[in-house]
Copies of this chain bind each other. A is one copy, B any other.
Amino acid sequence: MQFHIDHKIVNQIKGFINKKNDLKLTELLSELHHADVAEILEELELKQSVYIIKLLDSELTSEIIAELDDDVRDNILKSLSSKEIAEEIDELETDDAADIIADLPKEKKEEVISQLEDVEHAKDIVDLLRYDEDTAGGLMRKELIAVKDSWTVMHCVKEMRRQAEAFEKVHTIYVVDEDDILKGRLSLKSLLTTSTNTPIKDIYNPKITFVKVEEDDQEVANIMQKYDLIVMPVVDEMGRLVGQITIDDIVDVIKDEADKDYQMAAGLTQDVEAGDTIIQLTKARLPWLILGLFGGIGAAMIMGTYEEIIQSHAILFFFTPLIVAMAGNVGVQSSAIIVQGLANNDVKGSIVNRLWKELLLAIVNGIILSILLFIYTFSTDADLNTSLAISISLFSVIIVAGVIGTFIPLFLDKRGVDPAIATGPFITTSNDIFGILIYFMIARAIIGF
């Protein structure tokens, strides 16, 4: 088995395309998993990718298209006719189909839908388009196996055979009543071990974890993770079974959310990857750097107001980078731990309690660091007052930075804003300014200039 696509195979494929050796190309690509072919397509030029998509059977290419990165997929779909796209969509499961159609331009969307062959499939897809992509409805697929509680085991097995095509992916057999209201689930064990005329009513398990269509995707992820669920049913406002969510979609939600928080903490907006273009990367990075620039200018302005003491107390100015660095570090540590705790539903107790704890923590860290700094400054060239001023400032800055770093994400979360934006450059920049301000104010109070 080959999990990493190497350059040799990519070059081989390029060679076959150039020579229009369709036979060899089909043979080679059919051997590979569709996820691997998708990876290869991302390495090829658009024309080459389109050549492959048009060459292979839509049963295979539909799966490849579903795996592609959004930008590569968009470009490939632009090169296909509505008819060709509809053929791909026909092969896909409803959730993947809806995701792809949702990204099409409005007119093409309608054209593609009108050309879908299987009307039931098309109805399901259109249904799914109504849901916000960040909700349970946006994640679910329509394909599932449901049996009525009024049926017998025999009827049930017959029905399942009829729907045999979906069998390879059956994880749960849902039980619904005459009105499609979700009642529970049926284990394979019960189905295989009870006599064929037992009514489903008598053997199904009514304990089942479900979510409503409008549930937030993060919450769906938390629930499935907490209860170790592989698959979870989704019900509408009336409790009717309308779809199911499988864990592989949730893995993507978890990964995306973690990536997003990480990027926020690192000062990157948008969803960027190492492989993106310079322009995309600049867009993601420049706004935060400009914020940092303003923060630095702010710090310089504050320091400018103390210019008259620069000769008598030069050493104070030497320690400004240390003060802003520590303010930044403490702020990011505090906010990161809160952001992560909020994401994992792990922040217990009130805001006041959290702030109190952070305060204690900042005092412990602050005392240790201030003593270290005092020892250094006093043992080198500063007098007692200056050494005290620098150390006490560091202590105060650590406390303020810790409290701000804790408070802002908790505050944002309470207001319904994603607390992750409070990490990284946002916290460091505001702490830079507060840090410098506190530093010089304390120095003035102690040294008395």
- Chain A interface residues toward B at CB < 8 A: 1, 3-4, 33, 35, 43, 157, 160-161, 164-165, 167-168, 170-171, 187-189, 192-193, 209-210, 219, 222-223, 225-230, 246-248, 250-252, 254-255, 258-259, 261-263, 265-268, 272-275, 278, 281-282, 285-286, 288-290, 292-293, 295-297, 299-300, 303-304, 307, 310-311, 314-315, 317-326, 328-330, 332-333, 335-338, 340-341, 344-348, 354, 357, 360-361, 364-365, 368-369, 372-373, 376, 381, 398, 423-425, 428-429, 432, 436
Known: A246-B230, A262-B265, A322-B297. A346 touches B209 (CB 8 A): no
Q: How far is the CA of A347 from the CA of B263 in the complex (A)?
A: 16
Inter-chain contact B329/A432, CB cutoff 8 Å: no
Beta-carbon nearest neighbor of A250 in chain B: B251
Inter-chain contact B360/A278, CB cutoff 8 Å: yes
CB contacts (< 8 Å) of A229 on chain B: these are 248
Q: How many copies does the complex hold?
A: 2
Pick from B250, B311, B318, B340: contact of A263, CB under 8 Å:
B340
User: Which 8 interchain pairs have the tightest Cβ spacing?
Assistant: A296-B322, A266-B336, A274-B341, A258-B258, A167-B189, A300-B318, A299-B321, A228-B248
In the assembled complex, the CB of A166 is this many whole angstroms from the nearest CB of chain B, namely: 9
Inter-chain contact A225/B251, CB cutoff 8 Å: yes
Known: A318-B303, A326-B296. A268 touches B170 (CB 8 A): no
New A-B pairs, 14, CB < 8 Å, besides A290-B369, A295-B322: A167-B188, A229-B248, A262-B336, A266-B335, A273-B341, A273-B346, A274-B341, A278-B364, A285-B361, A299-B321, A300-B318, A303-B317, A317-B320, A332-B424
